[in-house]
Amino acid sequence: MKTAMRSVIWGTVAAAAALAGPLHAQSLEGIPVEQRLQILAGNQQARPLMEVFGIATFAAGADESCQLFDVGELRAFQVLKGQIGRQLARVGGDEVVAAIDQSERGTRQAKGCAMPDDTNVTIERARVVARALQDAPAAMTTDQQQCAVEGTHWRFHRREWEFVPKGHFVEYEDAQLEAMYQGLRTNFASIADQACGLVKQTVMLIPAFEKLRLMEEASSFAAPYAMAFTSLGSSERTFTSRHLGLWRSQRSWTGGGYTTEPDFYRMAHDGDVKTGFARLSSPGLFGVAGHMYFTTGGKWIAGINRNIEAVELRLDNGISLPMEKVAGEKEGMESTSTFELGKSGLTVLRDQGADVSVRVAFKQAGEEWRIFNAPGKGSGVQQINLGAVREGLAWSNAPRPAKN
């Protein structure tokens, strides 16, 4: 057993090294898929890549059914799936990548968080892989301030990246797992160094970025006026905890910024709590704006930055659902108001098809009804798709392992 585990560990480390360069194999296009799989499995460079791809996709799939990982770990699996999948597809084709994708298997085996022993072993290995990728930026040899997190403008000093490994508080009693972690981190750091030297940005920094964001959000929630660890913590981007509370994971990668789509999180506390939101805006520097919140129990709550008169949901099939005003404070620029959809309105929403979209209308005293826009210049009217909200809530409400 130990020999087999040692082989697995060093195969995983070899995969990280293989990521650093192109996969040297002839295109297998035109060959039956089963034969392509056999050829790649016999290739010294491709085999370990296939193994890590399997671990990453299995873990990401398992996380759909059970809240196993935080946002940094989840992004690590997503980054590795994308990076390795592209390498393998160039040689073996998309059919090979689909054949070795273990997402569905992971989702199935982690259902209800009741996992067999072999699944727990794979999850443990996945955590080592994810931690190594998150800790890699702190081990880079190039000047990290010259390299951006791909998809963002963020660049961090080495001392900022070093908060990530400090925040893990992990010591491996198993020497083989420690060796696996050290080897992976070194190889992942080398890959990031290469990308930064070429294009000054890399996706390999995304998992560490997300871990930093989670750490800053947790600190902000616990001590709102405490000094931030990093420049990220000093930014307005780390605001989710102020809206929702303490969270562990985020479904979609948004670069820490704004998205026009509903955004869902997994919360660290229980109960019927806010777990996602869609942003609402209107034209003008000081326009009416806010959030439509979705709770774990399925409530719709509008939080508005002005004390307005009314809010209603307008479905694209012609149905209108007024929201009840439950709070309104002050007047003018410092005012706020809160609206909640009642039980009858929630019942109507539950009866609608997944393809139905919702617009949010609002009315200020003495003015005509207007429709909220999505955030961002030129985004147009905010349209909230009911199917997307249901999928997001299902993800947010996945069970947690008993130890959590």
Neighbours of 242 (CB within 10 A): 11
Say what the pTM is: 0.90
Q: How far apart are CA 143 and CA 115, in angstroms?
A: 42
Give the chain's residues under pLDDT 50: 1-8, 10, 404
**Residue with structure tokens 């007024």?**
322
Q: How far apart are CA 52 and CA 76, in angstroms?
A: 12
Q: What angle do CA 86, 76, 207 make, to 5 degrees?
A: 120
Q: Where are the domains of the chain?
A: 2-210, 258-396
Q: How far apart are CA 95 and CA 88, in angstroms?
A: 10
**Are the CB atoms for 181 and 129 separated by under 8 Å?**
no
Q: What is the DSSP letter of 204?
A: G
Phi, psi angle pair for 2, to nearest 5°: -65, -40
**Residue with structure tokens 């009840």?**
324
Neighbours of 26 (CB within 10 A): 7
43: exposed, middle or buried (C-beta count within 10 Å: 0-12, 13-18, 19+)?
middle
CA distance readout (Å), 16 to 4, 205, 240, 293, 356 = 19, 15, 33, 40, 44
Please tell me the predicted confidence (pLDDT) of residue 172: 85
Q: How far apart are CA 65 and CA 78, in angstroms?
A: 16
H or E stretch covering 371: strand 370-371
CATH placement of domain 258-396 = 2.60.40
CA distance readout (Å), 205 to 130, 174, 195 = 12, 27, 10
Query: SS3 for 112-176, per residue?
Result: HHCCCHHHHHHHHHHHHHHHHHHHHHHHCCCCHHHCEECCCCCCCCHHHHCHHHHHHCCCCCCHH
What share of residues in the chain are helix, strand, coil (percent, to 5)?
A: 50, 15, 35
pLDDT in tens, 282-303: 987 678 999 999 999 999 999 9
Neighbours of 155 (CB within 10 A): 18
pLDDT in tens, 182-227: 999 999 999 999 999 999 999 999 999 999 999 998 888 888 777 8
**CA nearest neighbour of 74 among 225, 219, 258, 206:** 206
Please tell me the predicted confidence (pLDDT) of residue 327: 93
Please tell me the predicted confidence (pLDDT) of residue 82: 95
Phi, psi angle pair for 80, to nearest 5°: -65, -40
Query: SS3 for 304-364, per residue?
Result: ECCCCCEEEEEECCCCEEECEEEEEECCHHHCEEEEECCHHHHHHHHCCCCCCEEEEEEEC
Sort residue 291 into left (φ over 0), alpha (ψ -120 to 50) or beta. beta
